[in-house]
Structure 1
Amino acid sequence: MQVSSLLCPLCQHDGHQFYHQDNNKRTQRIYLRCQQCQLVFVPAEFYLSAEDEKAEYDLHENNVLDDGYRRFLERFWLPLKSKLKPNSHILDFGCGPGPLLGQMMQEDGFHVSLYDHFYHHNPEVLKPNFYDAISTTEVIEHLHQPCDVFESWLNWIKPGGYLAVMTKLVTTQAAFTKWHYKNDLTHVCFYSEATFAWLANRYGLHMTRDAQDVTLFRLPSRV
Structure 2
Amino acid sequence: MKKCKICGSVTTQIIKTKNQKKYHKCPTCSYIFLDEIFYVDEVREKQHYDKHDNNLESLGYVKMFEDLIEEFVMPYKKEIKSAFDFGCGEGKVLPILLQREGIVCDGYDLFYFPKKVYKDKKYNLVVSTEVFEHLQNPLEVLQELLLHVEKNGYLLLMTAFRPADDEEFLEWWYIRDITHIGFFNLQTFEYLAAKLGLVIIKHNFKNKVLFQKREV
TM-score, normalised on structure 2?
A: 0.92
Q: 1:218 is matched with which residue?
A: 212
* Percent of pairs with identical residues: 31
CA contact (8 A) 2:84 2:127 kept: yes
| One of 5, 12, 22 as aligned partner of 2:8 | 12
| One of 168, 175, 178 as aligned partner of 1:175 | 168
CA contact (8 A) 1:30 1:43 kept: yes
Matched, 1:21 2:16: yes
| One of 105, 112, 118 as aligned partner of 1:119 | 112
| One of 141, 149, 172 as aligned partner of 2:133 | 141
Deviations 1:165-198 (A, max 9, x none): 1111112223212110000010000001110111
SS in 2 for 1:70: helix
| One of 82, 85, 93 as aligned partner of 2:86 | 93
1:113 positional shift: 0.5
Alpha-carbon distance in 2 for matches of 1:192, 1:86: 27
Task: Name the CA shift for 1:86/1:35 in 2 (closer, same or farther; >3 Å).
Answer: closer
Matched, 1:196 2:192: no
Name the count of aligned residue pairs: 213
Alpha-carbon distance in 1 for matches of 2:32, 2:148: 26
Alpha-carbon distance in 2 for matches of 1:216, 1:32: 26
Alpha-carbon distance in 2 for matches of 1:87, 1:148: 25
Alpha-carbon distance in 2 for matches of 1:203, 1:86: 21
Matched, 1:32 2:27: no
CA contact (8 A) 1:91 1:113 kept: yes
TM-score, normalised on structure 1?
A: 0.89
Task: Name the CA shift for 1:100/1:124 in 2 (closer, same or farther; >3 Å).
Answer: closer
| One of 136, 141, 155 as aligned partner of 1:163 | 155
1:125 positional shift: 2.0
Amino acid at match of 1:80: V
Alpha-carbon distance in 1 for matches of 2:79, 2:4: 39
Structure 1 unaligned blocks of 5 or more:
none
Q: 1:184 is matched with which residue?
A: 177
Deviations 1:142-185 (A, max 9, x none): 01111110100111101101110111111222321211000001
Once structures 1 and 2 are overlaid, which stretch shifts more, 201-210 or 110-119? Answer: 201-210
Amino acid at match of 1:218: Q
Alpha-carbon distance in 2 for matches of 1:119, 1:55: 12
SS in 1 for 2:18: coil
Amino acid at match of 2:177: D
